[in-house]
Amino acid sequence: MENHEKKQEIKLKRKELGLSCMLNTEVGTVLAVIRRPTETVFGAAPDDNIDPSLLQSLKSLRALIFNPQQEWRTIDPSIYLSPFLDVIQSDFVHAAATRVALSATLKILKLGVFDEKTPGAKDAINTVVNAITTCRLEKTDPVSEGAVMMNILQLLTGVMNHRASMLLSDQAVCTIVNTCFQVVQQSTSRGDLLQRNARYTMHELIHIIFSRLPEVEMSHDDEETDNEDVDDGGLDFGYGMRCAVDIFHFLCSLLNVVEVVETEGSTVQTADEDVQLFALVLINTAIELSGDGIGTHSKLLRMMKDDLFHHLVHYGTCSSPVVFSMICSTVLNMYHFLRRYIRLQLESFFAFVLFRVAGAPGATTQLQEVALEGIINFCRQPSFVVEVYVNYDCDPFCHNVFEEIGKLLCKQSFPVGGPLSSLQIQAFEGLVVMIHNIADSIDKENDTSPSGPYPVEITEYTPFWEDEAKEDSETWVEFVRLRKAQKKKILIAGHHYNRDEKKGMEYLKLTKLVSDPPDPKALAFFFRYTPGLDKMLIGDYLGDPDEFHIEVLREYTETFGFAGMNLDSGLRTFLETFRIPGESQKIERILEVFSENFYEQQPTDIFANKDTVLILCYSLIMLNTDQHNPQVKKKMTEDEFIRNNRAINGGKDLPREYLSELFHSISHNAFTTFGVQVEMNPSKWIELMNRTKTVQPYFLCEFDRRLGRDMFACIAGPSVAALSAVFEHAEEEELLHECIEGMFSVARVAQYGLEDTLDELLATFSKFTTLLNPYASAEETLFAFSKDLKPRMATLAVFTIANNFGESIRGGWRNIVECLLKLKRLKLLPQSAIEFDAASTSLENLQSESGIIFPAHDPRFGGRPSGMINRFSHFMSLESAEDAVSLGISEFEQNLKVIKQCRIGNIFSNTSNFPEVALLNLGRSLIYAAAGKGQKFSTAIEEEETVGFSWDLIVAITLANNHRFQTFWPHFHDYLIVVAQFPMFSPIPFAEKAIVGLFKICLTILETHRADKIPEELIFKSINLMWKLEKEILDTCCDFITQSLNRILIEYPANLQTQLGWKSVLHLLSVSGRHPECYELGVETLISLMSDGTHVSRTNYAYCIDCAFGFIALKNSPLEKNIKILDLLAESVNFLIQWYINHYSDPGNSYSNSSLEDAKGFGSSCSFAMNLFVKLGEAFRKSSLARREEMRNHAILCLQKSFKLAEELDFTPINCINCFNLVVFAMVDDLHEKMLEYSRRENAEKEMRGMEGTLKVALKLLTEVYLQFLKQISQSPGFRTFWLGVLRRMDTCMKADLGGYGESTTLQELVPDLLRQMITVMKEQEILVQKEDDDLWEITHIQIQWIAPAIKEELFPEENL
């Protein structure tokens, strides 16, 4: 331990010895240089001219150095610094000695001989500063002055870098900076090296001083106020805020340094751009180092907000590109650290500087590029665009800064013929940066924030001039959006007001911008801040004598801040906002209110009362007319003006200096009394600074989806137009890719409620695919697509958007479908290109004729924006045309490679996630395309392929959305009805392809049991619509239809639940039997359905009968099949009996009487089973007229069997009579008529005899059925009429005239026998008996005598007695 201490002690002694040696050397060097004779222009300097005290102090220091050896850190630094400082300040030493003394002092500081803790350090470091600033150069050699200045600069930096510099006073630091700037000024004529070093030193000093500002903030509680000049550093802590404020004020003043330029004999003062640039660099350094700490120091902040910003705005529009660029950088730095305090200043910089320079037609390209670059740098900041939108675009009193930025970039990037200029490319890149910024901020993964409602509705009156501090973010966002809506309505109200004042006022009330009754303050703010409002109308309204108008005028005037303004400035500001009316009374009213308000806002007592202000206002207006009206020849002088305004201030005179200032101001600058907007003049700046005291500070906020969508909606249209225009004119591949990436970002934003923008984007870029040119042939289109990169990029981009943002596309589906169909015609869609998920359907692995296949879902298709850019970036790696040739890749293969990346099939598989409106738009586009709308076909084959492909896609999206079929298909059905009414609509091949697709959908629906019957109803409604459009399709598609019907009735009959479904299926099944190739499958399907009987129900029974009769009625149909069907029909009576016994119940099915339209003549009291039985009987009746006798006879036998089986049904008297009328009597009548018809033909005896035999069977049936139901029939009130009908038909058959074939002996033999049977039974059952009040017996007796006299006696023996 002791050894370590000894070593430390030895080391310390060596260091002290080293310092002693250094001091000794420096003293010796200074003495030697002082004593050395130097040749000057004045001759040799004798030793006598040297101040003895200088030599004595140096010698004394040398004697002190080694005797004894000193501990320098404990010694007052002034002891060893003073001799050197005396030399520096001496007027009698030459430059070499001064240089050596300066170097020695710098060496002492650098070696750290003392620090801030050394006794006397504060006095010593301040003495060094004083010595440097009083260094005399007059006696030095002019050649050596530059070297001395270099040493001074080094020593200044050394002082500020020394640890004891914190002990410097504010005055000392300001002196250092001032000394350094003096060197900078003197160096302009002394060489470039000195000038560069001086400027560098100045930069270093500013860096050191302002880097300490955050420490000052942390170390002290800064309590300075606006009116206190407090050195917040204090004596204990050295320099602080006071010097920072003074130095910054000095730097700002450098922006006003002018240089005199002589041109053609005259002198002009212009801003010294070199000094301005130097000052801006230093100001930027100060801001960067101070950071947001400036906000804690009111005086420095006030200087930044007022002086600095005013200079930046003033010089921004009239500087060189270099200075302007530095001004933009300065404002950007202030935005980063101080934007909470410079809300209105930032707005003025954009409105009066950046926008005017960037959009000025006369500005140089360099200045416009700098302005655009300044705007783009702002847009690159993550939160700038949303903050500027919230702070300005959503404030009714501010410019639409964000909207103007977006539209400016769009305008400047829009190509106007020829190649793109550098300015256009720069503006376009800025636009893309802004779009990317918005897209990245609102389209975030796992972001569950709301995106609605849109647009915002104003539901109640809210004062639009009242701002709200940001507290709760959710309510604040709604408040901001409401203010933006109010701002839009205010602009619309302004347009209405310009056209018609009353309508404008009514609109304000209607949109709840003004209360009812109206608030004067609301109208005042409307007149004051609505851009584009007619200034003359404002002046007329404000000058109106109505009391309410006067109240509006008072509120209007109070919107101005006149504090700190001279009267002429205040009056200018006031009159710039409207056109003063011509009537003197109106002028007087307006000026009275202005004078009162101006007087109240003046902090000084210069005016005795408001009347003084009023009189002076009139005087200024008159002076303005006198000085600036060319018709006034003799102008008023200053003395005359002052004389005219004597004793107006409460009987006293106003200060002459004040009046003189007013006179010169008016003389040099006329009033703009016509509401003309001017540049940012001093009076406008004062008003702006007054407004800063009342407005809310700049809001710092993060992106919100609702705000992002609202803000992009402002520039959506111009942005899409600019993107498409640049894409059209761009030649460089990199620029094309920027366009596509911008397109993707637009889509990412548009998905949140801007569907129209997305549609416009797709419509625009679809044109670049070359696929929509109706005048180009297939060969020309294919050539353009293959040879140019743009069409392939555009195609890939359009389908990529469809893949990733399909749920937000509306009308844009039309363009996508048209592109897709054109690719199909160009043979650029391989089978594998159209894929979608159909794994859940029974159509898996089914391939359509258009090449669409139905594979299992590819997991690679998952995800959305993440892989979008990657896939498109991969497109950049595709082989160029030259590379493709060298690799042996054909153009066709290249095109296929591009189309494969489009992942077209994934579009349709993803439709299951689409909202209904997107799905409907896609379906409508496909249906319209299939109907030929917007399509031109060169051949019938091309048309058929296109229609088939379209229907395959319709099927694809329908299957993908099977779970919500009932919600979207009604609309699809309406679209089918609409296309059928197109003027040039052709049902072939549309309906032909449609029926195939619809049956595929139908099979999918029926393959699973559904409690909901609506989908089944809907699909069969569409199927019926299609085949009714063109019945020919039932012939062309019979094979497919029959197979589909077979599957439905064999595999899924239990899932067929509706009457419409059964009716459609069975009707189409019966129609399919007309075709020989389909007959076998169709009839077997029907036989299987009826044989099984499980799925024959009350719902479909009537349709089964119709279908069966349809097969029976076919010509040349196999007899055995027909007989089988007839037998099945007869046996089906058992179903009717079962339903009757079960009280007409059939679980799971329902029936409406309205479906049995063929059961004519039945009243409402007829039972359901009897209705169906009658329909069955009618089918047999119609079958009894078949051409083949075997068929006819078998049909009658089956009908007979049906009556026997049907005894258990409810055969009431009325039912029985109706059955006879509709079935039995009708059948006998028809057969009799048919027999007579054949009898009148030549060579038709065989047919006639066959029909005669069938009629014989029918008469036997009549007799048997009559006797079977005699008891019920006899109880009917109409029995007498019924019985006469039986006898009449027997008489007709008995006396049938067969023409050339003679009488029908068969019937003549049969009829008496049948009559005998019926009458005998009627007698036995006492139905036919003689009664006094009943003439049935008599009528029957007479009829028998007429029909068959031979059996009269046998049947009525009583009558013979």
Active site residues: 583
Residue type (1 letter), 1350: A
> HSE on the CB side for 783, CA within 13 Å?
5
Strand (E) positions, 310-397?
none
CA-closest candidate to residue 1065, choices 1015, 1024, 1126, 1010:
1024
Helical spans, DSSP H, in 912-986: 916-930, 940-960, 965-979
Quick check: helix, strand or coil at residue 932? coil
388's tokens: 């500027």
Q: Which helix (H) or strand (E) holds 258?
A: strand 258-263
Sign of CA pseudo-dihedral 944, 947, 949, 955:
negative
Write the DSSP assignment of 1038-1087 as a string of letters. HHHHHHHHHHHHHHSGGG--SHHHHHHHHHHHHHHTTSHHHHHHHHHHHH
Type and span of the H or E element at 1107: helix 1101-1112
Question: CA 330, CA 127: separation in Å to the nearest integer?
Answer: 36
- Is the C-alpha dihedral spanning 216, 217, 218, 224 positive or negative? positive
Q: What is the helix (H) or strand (E) element at residue 52, kind and residue range?
A: helix 52-65
How much helix, strand and coil, in percent to the nearest 5, is found in the chain? 70, 0, 30
- Check if the beta carbon of residue 692 is closer than 8 Å to that of residue 343: yes
How is residue 308 written in tokens? 């600095």
| String of DSSP letters for 570-589 | HHHHHHTTSBPPS-HHHHHH
Using only the alpha carbons of the chain, give its radius of gyration.
54
Q: What is the DSSP string of 1160-1229?
A: TT--TTS-HHHHHHHHHHHHHHHHTT-SSHHHHHHHHHHHHHHHHHGGGS---HHHHHHHIIIIIHHHHH
CA 259 vs CA 263, 273, 276: distances in Å: 13, 9, 11
- CB burial class (10 A; 0-12, 13-18, 19+) of residue 593? buried
Q: Whole-angstrom Cα distance, residue 57 to residue 68?
A: 18
How does DSSP assign 30-41, residue by residue? HHHHHHS----T
744 CB-near residues (< 8 Å, 6+ apart): 439, 797, 800, 801, 865, 868, 869, 872
Nearest to 737 by CA among 800, 684, 666: 800
Cβ neighbors of 880 (< 8 A, separation 6 or more) are: none
Asked if 413 and 739 touch (Cβ cutoff 8 Å), the reply is: no
**Which residue from 817, 830, 814, 823 is spatially nearest to 791, judged by alpha carbons?**
823
Judged by DSSP in three states, 1090 sits in: helix
Beta carbons within 8 Å of 1031's beta carbon, 6+ residues apart:
none
Contact between 701 and 387 (Cβ < 8 Å): yes
Kindly tell me the burial class for residue 445, based on how many C-beta atoms sit within 10 Å of its own C-beta (0-12, 13-18, 19 or more).
exposed
C-alpha closest to that of 389 among 331, 333, 449, 437: 437
1321-1355 residues labelled b (16+ CB within 10 A) or e (exposed): ebeeeebbeeeeeeebbeebbebbeebbeebbeeb
Q: Which two tokens stand for residue 674?
A: 């016509």
By the 8 A CB rule, do 354 and 375 touch? Answer: yes
